[in-house]
Structure 1
Amino acid sequence: MIKSLKYKILFGLLICSNLFMNLRAQFAPAVGQIGTTAIHKDSSIIINWAKACEYFPGPVDISDNNSSFPTVGDSISPTGKAGENGILSLGDGGSAILYFNPPIINDNGWDFCVFENAFNDNFLELGHVEVSSNGVDFFRFPSTSLTQDSIQIDAFGSTNPEEINNLAGKYRVNYGTPFDLEELDNILGLNINNITHIKIIDVIGSIDYNYCSYDGSNNKINDPWPTPFASSGFDLEAIGVIHEQPAGLILSENIYNIRYNNPFNKSIELSFEYEFKELTKITMYNSNGSIIKQLNHLTNNGLNNLKINTCNMSNGFYILNIESKYQSKNIKLIKS
């Protein structure tokens, strides 16, 4: 009787344990498994690749004040097709900004995918992904990490990809992690049909509050750390484009006959003609690239008139950006 009861208790604990694991592991699985979202570098859905890259490496060990920096890769490495130009190692908290022409657009399903060079399905070095439609303002994909954060994953430790969502590096080498721009729709300052830049930021996998990175729900992200090697941190291999602006749309002029007072003083009186009714974004930048003013304008089919109050702006040079679904116009202005 006692022995039978013991087995029942053990069986119950096993079921509870499996149920708990299934609740935590709720995202797409590794390459080759049913339900995976991994995209191979030779997939026919990838139609283009990044054209240029600028990078800002972090230290190989952010907890060491005398730390060196990673030495693997350069600005050419993550451009072009995955597997052709090597990798760029970002170091702890380092970042890279990649440029795309034609711009990436939002369409049905995934819009682009990020490649890292993990050597198996569980050694995952992760990265935040941010996008921009003007090269200045970047917006981050909301990410989730359900990995436990009580025990540090060591330099060659394992991470379950089913506990990771919207973080680059979820899949092994040759397979890209996909992202859908639809998730970032209706964000002021972002045109998801004109993504010109993507920023990848290394996740510092430490669970130490002094150094750790957080997901979109403010959970600490635990991944292999420290990695005090020449190839420290996220190893960016490439970014593949799935949806981009068709050539005809890039050349289309739906904003035209722009008129404005330049120089300006107390206000900018702006007028332009537009082809149809649509929400456009009007943004003012100062000479340092900081946003000074931003507003949404629902255009009319035909002439549009706006008056922008500039009384509180100091004298100097400014850029006025008018952004529609498929077009962006910059105007150089002077306040005197």
Structure 2
Amino acid sequence: MNHSWSFILALFLSFNLNAQYAPAAGQAGSTALHKDSVLWADWGATPYVWSRGPQDISQPQLGLASNGQPAAAAGPAGDGTVFSLGDGGQATYYIHPPIIDGTGPDFAIFENGFSDSFLELAFVEVSSNGVDFVRFPAVSLTDTAQQVGGFGALEASKIHNLAGKYRANYGTPFDLSELADSSRVDINNIAYVRVVDVVGHIGEYGSYDSRGQLINDPWPTPFPSSGFDLDALGVIHQLPLGLRPLAQAEPLKIWPNPSPRAKALQLSLAYEAGAKLYIYNMQGQLVKSMQPNGPKISLSLAELPAANYIIGYKGQLAQLILLP
């Protein structure tokens, strides 16, 4: 390699390692949004699907994170309660009316970091149909030569599109226009927001950013409050109530519920030709889908184990208890 190209490459690497994003809350240029801002149009309800991760993914014998309940992540931020996701855990909100793309950020995620440098991070994904999720392109420029310890420090200016970038009471904003080129999501009809804990290990258990680089954040945190501590989802731009889809006036109904596995379910729904019905387990995994042929259908789920499920159709959700 000649000397001129070596010099250019060195400059390129130096720029990328030292590139800066918005700084911590309260500093000039910060994008942090305070919980008491006048921007909030609505707050997310209790996540309808969640899956907790372990306290320490390298020590599964410690069990799962257990601090807080999903309802702690509902309503306005800063109420003192959170839902801890654990290593790699996740929680999905259903938002109605849907979030839409407006000028500037469209929603924000709140965590309970106690300082500008103790930051626990999470990916954020959105969906229009509850099945196809698109992840915001996240970037972490934190050096990966040495593991950030369980109570180690991060710099907000080296973090982009990762929830938890800001301390408690300050939301990390997300702008749907960044996903405008995706064919898998309608940025003016975002009915689902998923938060996925980043496992900040710089080795075999680690999570990667949108560039394929490991994300270094405080790890391990082998406590009941392990992982991302989800406080709230604040909505800024939302479809006006008067424009909510017609289907919302005709709720999805299921009977009998609870239902024995051997007994066929009866469903009443706002039928639309071509629309699919989806069934998820409580870990958010799709276990069955079908295309109804009318507003009233009979459905057998004898092949599924007895458990709790979520049935979704055109943005409508209903919980089903399937008995042995």
Aligned to 2:58: 63
**SS of the residue 1:186 aligns to:** coil
Question: Quick check: which has more Rg, 1 or 2?
Answer: 1
Query: SS state of the match for residue 150, structure 2?
Result: coil
Segments of 5+ residues of structure 1 without an aligned counterpart are 1-15, 254-271, 273-281, 290-315, 321-327, 331-336
- Counterparts in 2 of 1:132 and 1:22: CA distance versus 1, 3 Å: closer
For the pair 1:231 / 2:222, whether they are aligned, the reply is no
Q: Is the 8 A contact 2:274 2:291 kept in 1?
A: no
Indicate conservation of the 8 Å contact 1:51/1:101, yes or no: no
Q: Helix, strand or coil: the match of 2:218?
A: coil
Structure-1 residue corresponding to 2:213: 219
Matched, 1:36 2:9: no
Deviation string, structure 1 residues 84-140 (Cα, Å, up to 9, x no partner): 361000000000001211110001100000000000001110000000111121110
Residue equivalent to 2:180:
185
1:76 counterpart SS class? helix
Q: Does 1:106 align with 2:101?
A: yes
1:76 aligns with: 71
1:25/1:123 CA distance change after superposition, 3 Å: farther
One-letter code aligned to 1:101: H
Q: Give the Cα separation in 2 of the matches to 1:169 and 1:329.
A: 31
Q: Which piece of structure 1 moves more, 66-75 or 150-159?
A: 66-75
Checking the alignment, whether the CA contact within 8 Å between 2:139 and 2:162 is kept in structure 1 is yes
- 1:115 and 1:177 in contact (8 A); partners too: yes
Question: What is the distance in 2 between the residues matched to 1:287 and 1:100?
Answer: 17
> Could you tell me the TM-score, scaled by structure 2's length?
0.72
TM-score in terms of structure 1 length? 0.70
8 Å contact kept, 1:112–1:241: yes
**Residues 1:169 and 1:287: Cα distance change in structure 2 (over 3 Å):** closer
Match of 2:46 in 1: 52
Asked whether the 8 Å contact 1:114–1:168 carries over to 2, the reply is: yes
8 Å contact 1:76–1:85 — kept in the other structure? no
Structural RMSD (CA): 2.7
In structure 2, the gaps of 5 or more residues are 1-9, 248-271, 281-288, 294-312, 316-324
Contact 1:147 1:159 in 2 (8 A): yes
Rounded Cα–Cα distance in structure 2 between residues aligned with 1:154 and 1:283: 51
- Counterpart in 2 of 1:307? none
Deviation readout 1:42-89 (Å, 9 max, x if unpaired): 000011100231321000000113121111111201110002361000
Query: Which of 132, 135, 140 does residue 130 from structure 2 map onto?
Result: 135
Name the counterpart of 2:237: 243
Distance 2:202 2:224 in 1: 22
Letter in 2 for 1:318: Q
Residue identity matched to 1:156: F
Letter in 2 for 1:234: F
- 3-state SS in 2 of match to 1:240: strand
Is residue 117 of structure 2 the alignment partner of residue 117 of structure 1?
no
Question: What SS class does the counterpart of residue 187 from structure 1 fall into?
Answer: coil
Q: Of the candidates 135, 141, 144, which is equivalent to residue 146 of structure 1?
A: 141
Q: Determine helix, strand or coil for the equivalent of 2:73.
A: coil
Equivalent pair of 1:287/1:319 in contact (CA under 8 Å):
no
Is the CA contact 2:44–2:95 (under 8 Å) kept in the aligned structure 1? yes
Q: Are the equivalent residues in 2 in contact too, given 1:78–1:85 (CA < 8 A)?
A: no
Partner-residue secondary structure (3-state), 2:165: coil
* Contact kept in structure 1, 2:122 and 2:196, CA below 8 Å: yes
SS in 2 for 1:82: coil
Tell me, in whole angstroms, the C-alpha distance in 1 between the residues paired with 2:290 and 2:209: 38
User: Which residue of 1 is the match for residue 291 of structure 2?
Assistant: 318
Structure 2 CA distance for aligned equivalents of residues 229 and 79 of structure 1: 22
CA distance, structure 2, for counterparts of residue 22 and residue 137 of structure 1? 31
The CA distance in 2 between the partners of 1:88 and 1:287, in whole Å, is 26
